[in-house]
Structure 1
Amino acid sequence: MSNPLIELRGATKRFPGTDGGIHTAVKNIDFTVAAGEFVAVVGPTGCGKSTTLSLVSGLEPTSAGRTLVRGKDVDGIPDGIGYMFQQDAVLPWRSVIDNVALGPRFRGVSKAQAKVKAAEWVRIVGLAGFEDYYPHQLSGGMRKRVALAQTLVNEPEIILMDEPFSALDVQTRQLMQDELLRVWAGTDAAVIFVTHDLEEAIALADRVVVMTASPATVCGDFRVTLERPRNVEEVRLTEEFRDLYREIWETLRDQVEAARTKGATRVA
Structure 2
Amino acid sequence: MSEDPVIELRGASKRFRSGSGGVHTAVRDLTMTVARGEFVAVVGPTGCGKSTTLSLVSGLEPPSDGEALVAGRPVDGIPDGIGYMFQNDAVLPWRSVLDNVAAGPRYRGEAKAAAREKARDWVARVGLGGFESYYPHQLSGGMRKRVALAQTLVNEPSILLMDEPFSALDVQTRALMQDELLRLWSGSNAAVIFVTHDLEEAIALADRVLVMTAGPATVKASFDVPLARPRDVEEIRLTAEFLEIYREIWESLKEEVEETRARGAGRVA
Using structure 2 for the length normalisation, give the TM-score. 0.99
Q: Separation in 2 of the partners of 1:2 and 1:181? A: 20
Deviation, 1:263, is 1.1
Deviation, 1:2, is 5.2
Aligned AA (2:243): R
Deviation, 1:19, is 1.8
Q: Separation in 2 of the partners of 1:19 and 1:7? A: 32
Gaps of 5+ in 1: none
Q: Separation in 1 of the partners of 2:63 and 2:28? A: 10
1:3 equivalent in structure 2: 4
Structure 1's consecutive aligned runs of 4 or more residues displaced over 6 angstroms after TM superposition are none
2:168 aligned with 1:167: yes
1:266 equivalent in structure 2: 267
3-state SS in 2 of match to 1:5: strand
Aligned AA (1:238): T
Cα distance per residue 1:117-152 (max 9 Å; x no partner):
000000000000000000000000000000000000
Q: Separation in 2 of the partners of 1:121 and 1:255? A: 40
2:75 aligned with 1:68: no
3-state SS in 2 of match to 1:118: helix
Using structure 1 for the length normalisation, give the TM-score. 0.99
Q: Residues 3 and 71 of structure 1 are in contact (CA less than 8 Å); yes or no, is this contact kept in structure 2? A: no
3-state SS in 2 of match to 1:251: helix
2:99 aligned with 1:127: no
1:183 equivalent in structure 2: 184
Cα distance per residue 1:221-246 (max 9 Å; x no partner):
00000000000000000000000000
Q: Separation in 2 of the partners of 1:163 and 1:2? A: 26
1:222 equivalent in structure 2: 223
Q: Residues 4 and 36 of structure 2 are in contact (CA less than 8 Å); yes or no, is this contact kept in structure 1? A: no
1:83 equivalent in structure 2: 84
Q: Separation in 2 of the partners of 1:137 and 1:32? A: 41
Deviation, 1:17, is 1.4
Cα distance per residue 1:18-48 (max 9 Å; x no partner):
2211100000111100000000000000000
Deviation, 1:3, is 3.0
1:240 equivalent in structure 2: 241
Q: Separation in 2 of the partners of 1:32 and 1:231? A: 27
State the percentage of identical aligned residues.
75
2:101 equivalent in structure 1: 100
Q: Separation in 2 of the partners of 1:186 and 1:133? A: 30
1:250 equivalent in structure 2: 251
Aligned AA (1:79): D
Q: Separation in 2 of the partners of 1:164 and 1:127? A: 18
3-state SS in 2 of match to 1:216: coil
